């Protein structure tokens, strides 16, 4: 029966078109951000409406321009989806906008039909026990019936899915009835007394369910990405929270040791400490310019120089083209502190800390070097995994850059220690994103 075959093919084409539209929209980051918001402002609802109505109105134009593409008109499904996702305002406005091509073509009853279907979608959204239930919609009514009788006390959830199924089926039947008596578009079955109406209603159910499933998959993927990002930020915050108290504790110890022996020097240290604290109490960012990090090191070493006197010397060799590059905040301070605490504090004549920076091979190269007592070979082998200072820096670099960085330590007894870092070049325009 050719007419029946053409009708069934048209139903399959409708499903294919809806799947293609949903897949294309799911690739848009802006559309995905709209899907992530369950509570939307009026402007956000209008924006969602414009996205959906623009696409489904274009499909209606396709149907009106070419008689061979009758299956392309998915205005009822689009209006219902708009209401389910955005509520009354989105559904109503989408229904009106989607119907405009048909209205201009003389199908005047299309406007109240699609506007009403959009509002129906908003009503169904409000009936949901929770917003997430809309995304769990399934076109398989037998599964919903089974859940209704086996869900125990959770009848409201299963009843919602049954009502949603019935509402979509009734909306399609209403379109068919209006299309028989008025100038309104419908994809009419070739044999009204056969099971073709069942196939038609099933196609409409799947036309609503398919985009919901595709977009829910996109939402789930976006949630996983956000959770991964939040996990990284939490790890960075935890690592930084280890550094700051450790640094402050050691600095306050230095101040307390001078209060009785040299009050004037203690006051100088408190002043220097206040400059350091102002830096630490500013809004935390994952990255800062190398220029700021070196300035912070100078303030920190000014405190230590008060404590150690001329025994502690500092040499800075920073290339000018590296000063505006970004590095993880508080990257150098733990390394400098380790040089003082473990390399120079036990050396009678003191020593020198040298920081050298340069660019090469699209990498930023950092070197923190001292001429202290060095690190024993047995301890050097596990230095990157133990303690707070060096291991913390290594862990932060690993979280931020994965395998795109290198950090290694060379040390010889009585000759000093070198800590070298290679990391990707980051420009200052990334600071806003950190």
Sign of CA dihedral 390, 391, 397, 400: negative
Q: Identify the burial level of 47 via C-beta atoms within 10 angstroms of its C-beta, where 0-12 means exposed, 13-18 middle and 19 or more buried.
A: middle
Instruction: Collect contacts of 64-72 with beta carbons under 8 A, ≥24 apart.
Output: 64/101, 64/102, 64/105, 70/10, 70/185, 70/187, 71/10, 71/11, 71/13, 71/14, 71/17, 71/187, 72/13, 72/14, 72/17
Q: Which residues contact 421 (CB under 8 A, 6 or more apart)?
A: 331, 365, 366, 367, 393, 397, 405, 406, 407
CATH architecture of 262-433: 2-Layer Sandwich (3.30)
The DSSP letter of residue 342 is: I
Confidence (pLDDT) at 3: 80
Q: Which two tokens stand for residue 223?
A: 């949630």
Domain boundaries along the sequence of the chain: 2-226, 262-433
The predicted pLDDT at position 433 comes to 41
What are the residue ranges of helices labelled H in 27-154? 29-36, 42-65, 75-86, 88-104, 110-127, 132-135, 141-150
pLDDT 10s per residue in the chain (434 long)? 448 888 888 899 999 999 999 999 988 888 888 887 777 788 888 888 999 999 999 999 998 888 778 888 999 999 999 999 998 899 999 999 999 999 999 999 999 999 999 999 999 999 888 878 888 888 876 555 555 555 555 667 778 888 899 999 999 999 999 988 888 888 888 877 678 888 899 999 999 999 999 998 888 888 777 766 656 665 555 555 555 565 677 667 777 877 877 788 778 778 877 877 776 665 456 688 899 889 888 888 887 777 677 788 899 999 999 998 999 887 888 888 888 888 887 787 888 999 999 998 889 999 999 998 888 877 777 777 665 678 878 888 887 888 889 999 888 888 889 999 999 987 544 444 44
CA nearest neighbour of 94 among 60, 127, 138, 70: 60
The pLDDT of residue 432 is 41
| C-alpha to C-alpha distance for 82 and 90, rounded to whole angstroms | 6
Model pTM?
0.59
Residue 187: left if φ>0, alpha if ψ -120 to 50, beta else—which one?
beta
263-281 and 290-308 are packed helices; what angle lies between their axes, rounded to 10 degrees? 160
| Cβ partners under 8 Å of residue 230, min gap 6 | none
Residue 281: what pLDDT? 63
Contact 185, 73 (CB under 8 A): yes
Q: Which residues contact 10 (CB under 8 A, 6 or more apart)?
A: 70, 71, 187
Per-residue model confidence (pLDDT) at position 430: 41
The kind and range of the H/E element at 228 are helix 196-259
């Amino acid at each position: 029966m050719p007419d029946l075959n053409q009708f069934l093919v048209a139903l399959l084409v409708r499903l294919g078109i809806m799947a293609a539209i949903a897949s294309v929209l799911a690739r848009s980051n802006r559309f995905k951000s709209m899907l992530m918001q369950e509570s939307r402002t009026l402007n956000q609802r209008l924006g969602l409406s414009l996205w959906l109505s623009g696409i489904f109105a274009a499909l209606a134009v396709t149907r009106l321009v070419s008689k061979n593409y009758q299956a392309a008109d998915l205005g009822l499904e689009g209006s219902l989806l708009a209401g389910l996702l955005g509520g009354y305002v989105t559904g109503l406005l989408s229904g009106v906008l989607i119907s405009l091509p048909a209205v201009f073509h003389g199908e005047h009853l299309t406007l109240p039909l699609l506007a009403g279907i959009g509002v129906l979608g908003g009503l169904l959204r409000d009936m949901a026990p929770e917003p997430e239930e809309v995304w769990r919609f399934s076109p398989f009514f037998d599964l919903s019936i089974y859940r209704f009788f086996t869900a125990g006390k959770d009848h409201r959830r299963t009843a919602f899915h049954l009502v949603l199924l019935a509402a979509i089926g009734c909306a399609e039947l209403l379109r068919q009835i209006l299309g028989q008596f008025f100038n309104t578009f419908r994809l009419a079955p070739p044999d009204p007394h056969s099971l073709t109406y069942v196939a038609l209603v099933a196609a409409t159910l799947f036309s609503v369910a398919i985009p919901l499933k595709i977009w829910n998959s996109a939402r789930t993927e976006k949630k996983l990405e956000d959770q991964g990002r939040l996990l990284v930020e939490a790890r960075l915050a935890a690592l930084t929270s280890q550094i700051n108290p450790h640094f402050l504790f050691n600095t306050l110890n230095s101040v307390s040791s001078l209060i009785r022996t040299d009050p004037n020097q203690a006051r100088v240290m408190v002043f220097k400490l206040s400059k350091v604290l102002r830096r630490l109490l500013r809004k935390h960012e994952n990255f800062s310019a190398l220029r700021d990090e070196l300035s912070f090191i100078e303030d920190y070493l000014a405190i230590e120089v008060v404590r150690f006197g001329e025994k502690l010397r500092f040499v800075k060799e920073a290339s000018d083209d590296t000063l505006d590059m970004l590095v993880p905040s508080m990257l150098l301070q733990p390394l400098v502190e380790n040089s003082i605490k473990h390399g120079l504090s036990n050396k009678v004549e003191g020593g020198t800390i040298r920081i050298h920076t340069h660019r090469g091979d699209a990498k930023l190269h950092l070197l923190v070097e001292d001429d202290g007592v060095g690190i024993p070979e047995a301890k050097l082998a596990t230095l990157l995994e133990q303690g707070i200072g060096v291991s913390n820096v290594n862990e932060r670099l690993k979280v931020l850059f994965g395998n795109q960085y290198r950090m290694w330590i060379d040390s010889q007894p009585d000759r000093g220690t070198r800590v070298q870092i290679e990391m990707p070049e980051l420009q200052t325009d990334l600071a806003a994103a950190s």
